[in-house]
Amino acid sequence: MKKQESNGANSDFESNSNGNVNFKTASTDQSLLTILDDIKSSRSPAVINYGASWYDLVLFFWCGVCSQIFPAYEELSNNFKGMKFVYADIDECPETTRHIRYTPTFQFYRNGEKVDEMFGTGEERLRDRLWLHS
């Protein structure tokens, strides 16, 4: 993953390594609040993946289930271009994610409202939910 720096983008937002513009990572509570405000004021569908990881030049997960689903989540972001994909680390955004009890948790938004939530992993389950809410 690399930090976005072009066009005055907030340095707290990161895009994935292949430059996918519909995939963002919230690296602070403030960046997650900004993303949530954007989602709530948008008509575009969105999904937030709440997981547990740490950064040390590359992304590592201390949550084993999170590490299993993240590559599929990132790849699926390439297949659902009209949908916003967000990754929020519960350790990097502790105030805004204190309501999250399981990792990974996926929250789906449509027309600015949370419409669904999925706990755990399963690439096929995730793909089906993305198709349903896209």
Distances (CA, A) of 45 to 61, 94, 125: 26, 24, 17
Q: Which of 46, 117, 114 is nearest to 86 (CA)?
A: 46
Q: Is 66 assigned a catalytic role?
A: yes
Task: Please tell me whether residue 63 adopts helix, strand or coil conformation.
Answer: coil
The catalytic position among 63, 83, 88, 100 is: 63
How many alpha carbons fall within 13 Å on the CB side of residue 89? 19
Q: Is 93 assigned a catalytic role?
A: no
Task: Please tell me whether residue 61 adopts helix, strand or coil conformation.
Answer: strand
The catalytic position among 66, 69, 88, 126 is: 66
DSSP H or E run through 46: strand 46-51
1: its two tokens: 């993953």
Catalytic positions are 63, 66
